[in-house]
Chain A
């Protein structure tokens, strides 16, 4: 019996045509394992080119390949040890229109090794439309997961809401930072952008000053008679000194918070020191990549600089930008691979951190935060790739009862390093794989169609080229091939308030939104409400878009604590049926039982109960928070470790066996 199963799996593998999306960390391992496992027809798409920091894990690549297409190089490398199989590589974006539903239909299974949410959602939709099973994966450090998505059998990738990139309320960034990451965001998104980026961009930094009776409209303007040294010092005093003084005037803000200290350059670096600083510059004049660390003789990126060193780096890097990279000033965007930019942001964030009593960080750490660098090691990718192939073979055999989601853990917990879980059923209320309408609460009189399209349809629903219909009236269409008059008409509609569109949108109107490329169509019911962008000007948020490697990991603590602070609906629109039910319940503060039911078909289990009606819940929550507070945010399984400390705790019933039993 066992051997016949083996034989049929071999046949299935031989005959299969598979599509791999991504040739990075997971991709390299996956392509190798697929080839070894006997797959003979593999197509692989990747947009990226090879970088040095890939080489520690993407083992199909060598130093000499830096700059070349990942997909092509990976293909050639694997053909060396498996010359007789077919690998077709595409150096392209999976979102390109050439990869349409017809393209996807030729495959027996699609395997994802992607590094961003957007592409994952896109592939999910195409797989649903083409009815091709998808095996999805992701890794971060020692953590990883593999999931199986088969239309009608298991949940789709979007049945559960995925977190959007973490964003911070502007006021936290501009006035009340409490964590180092807030200082980094400030340094990178505000100060760096203001000094070296596009001058015309909106910026929330206070640029006004009443100091010395000057009535300048923008203190960041350099005076004609000012040398760079003076300019840098003036900026320093303005952002770390004056602006803090201004903030301190607002007593209300500091009632329950630690008051920040204004920092002035004359206190951190006495005059002579600055002169010295200046005199050392000549020795480094001819460097190709100017670096403040190099000019100042700082060598160790792991070291945490003191306030004086940070101030020196701040002044020096600012000077170097204006002196050595003058041409770029005005259109620079922060880049984690730009050494000078990282130096400037590290120094500025650290000075701000000292002002607010937040612990300082090394350049290495600051770079990780600023660049949203995701941790990655070869071993997890290898394990995950192995798990993907195991699931792919089950999918090819149609053996859906044995599909598993598997999670990789860092430390053995409950005696397991890999944890298998049965896949969930499709969420009946998923707008992607079912036909459930969504609900948008919006002020139809003050919201423009453009806002709904940008923030909801593209921003949240992840459509690329949407088409919007109200009843049978087409009000908007995106993409090429539009007639001129159509395009003009749509452009006009974009700027109209919803209630003023050719087919007016009012309370109860149903919108039909479609994306032909993704073959996704859904309905949005409109509920008129008085929330509006205009009335909530303070709710703008700064978005930090992570360069995702696998997936963003919010640790448990992060989830419980951070998600609590300043829960906001940034768009003045509330979308329900997406991830919004959750948020809605929180904001409405009402403990509304009906909302909880939106979360899925499993309510019948009787384990989901509304908590808000039960006394003692709050206390329990506090207990959990407390436990977690003692835990290291970097280790996600900490509680487990505490409990498993002595390793002699026995499972009453092995989870895997328990499941097996149920399957029989």
Chain B
């Protein structure tokens, strides 16, 4: 069952018919690799549910769910895999109930329940899988599982995903990842070396990229709080705010970071949310993670390196990926300013220059001036960004 094993067998006619539209996106080879991949998800909540749905539809080989918690009414809120019927979910674990619903989504995927406690997982056990996704677990558990993954000879991809209210975080550790990326139409092999979760969260804050999202720091403060108080994940609530603020001060002082980088209002929001997830944000995060796992399994396309953040609240939109904990990030010499000219004949062109905050719209345009970075979205089609072009 080795990972990325040879994909000799042809897909059946049934698989071709079912997966036709997506094979047109990622190719037959990727589809074959997917059908041989084994995925373990620890922790079933609204966000991992979204991920599971996506990966089952995509046609992975198998999906195993680990979550012994009995289903309670709270679980119904963001989880569409649990029917609103206590006679169905009563007395059963989250994994069991979700498993049953997921099986229906795609008869070609084996979905199974793995009983157990993620915090007690052994490295050997993990060898059964190619992909591990951990959610609603303490940082301690996450670090433990990540460590196990890295110690096995088998290549096991590790992900964490958390959603609190309208904030989301994904962490990716693909260890040494080889993939193919099309550059100039030619598939080009690429290599990436990922830091471990421990390395990633231990980077001195002052070494981080200047624009690192506030959410990154806030999540680290909360993790540390849980750890120091011996709390289990997500147990902290709004009443813990004073203690959390004290910890913020302590950490910021130690790391020489201004406390304003971790706004009280953000911590408040995260604490108030607890386990609560905003369903549209779960859908977005679950979608992104599904896509990343397909990239990792197929070895096609540029993966996230190595944190992904999303926050849709309060008008602040932080959407991005940040590479943390790897070689010291350094700003590349800024590109010489260059005017650009575009002449898409016969089509309107519309764009947006982020840095200057100006918009333009026209059938011909020229941009000159002090654009260190210029982002243009070409809307030459029914408003599809054709290209972000950066100069």
Contacts and interface: CB of A to CB of B under 8 A. Distances in A.
A385 B283 contact: yes
A586 to B, nearest CB: 5
B337 interface: no
A81 B84 contact: yes
For the residues of B in contact with A, the DSSP-based class is mixed
A: interface residue count bin? 35 or more
B280 A140 contact: no
Contacts of A567: 345-346
Given A160-B379, A378-B54, A582-B348, A2 B313 contact: yes
Contact of B320 (A416, A552, A652): A416
Interface size class, chain B: 35 or more
A368 B81 CA distance: 34
Contacts of A602: 359-362
A599 interface: yes
B366 A553 contact: no
Interface in B40-69: 46, 50, 53-54, 57-59
B227 interface: no
Contacts of B184: 630-632, 638, 642
B348 to A, nearest CB: 5
Given A57-B57, A563-B347, A414 B388 contact: yes
Given A2-B268, A53-B21, A556-B386, A415 B321 contact: yes
A327 interface: no
Given A81-B83, A382-B286, A556-B386, A648 B329 contact: yes
Contacts of A563: 344-347
Contact of B22 (A136, A376, A583, A585): A376
Given A55-B18, A413-B388, A603-B362, A163 B321 contact: no
A420 interface: yes
A373 interface: yes
A650 interface: yes
Contacts of B288: 379, 383, 417-418
B382 interface: yes
B182 A377 contact: no
B350 interface: yes
B290 A378 contact: yes
B282 A660 contact: no
Interface stretch (A32-40, A258-266, A514-522, A529-537): A32-40
A621 B386 contact: no
B250 to A, nearest CB: 24
A660 B348 contact: no
Interface stretch (B137-145, B195-203, B304-312): B304-312
Contacts of A53: 17-18, 20-21
Interface string A413-443: 1111111111010010000000000000000
A611 B343 contact: yes
Nearest to A2: B269
A1 B272 CA distance: 12
A581 B363 contact: yes
A621 B341 contact: yes
B50 A382 contact: yes
28 contacts: A2-B313, A37-B278, A62-B104, A81-B81, A378-B54, A383-B284, A386-B283, A386-B284, A401-B315, A405-B383, A415-B321, A417-B304, A418-B284, A421-B352, A421-B377, A554-B380, A556-B380, A556-B387, A607-B353, A607-B365, A621-B343, A632-B182, A650-B330, A650-B331, A653-B354, A658-B354, A658-B355, A659-B357
Given A382-B290, A611-B341, 10 more contacts: A36-B77, A379-B288, A386-B287, A389-B280, A421-B352, A421-B377, A567-B345, A599-B362, A648-B323, A656-B318
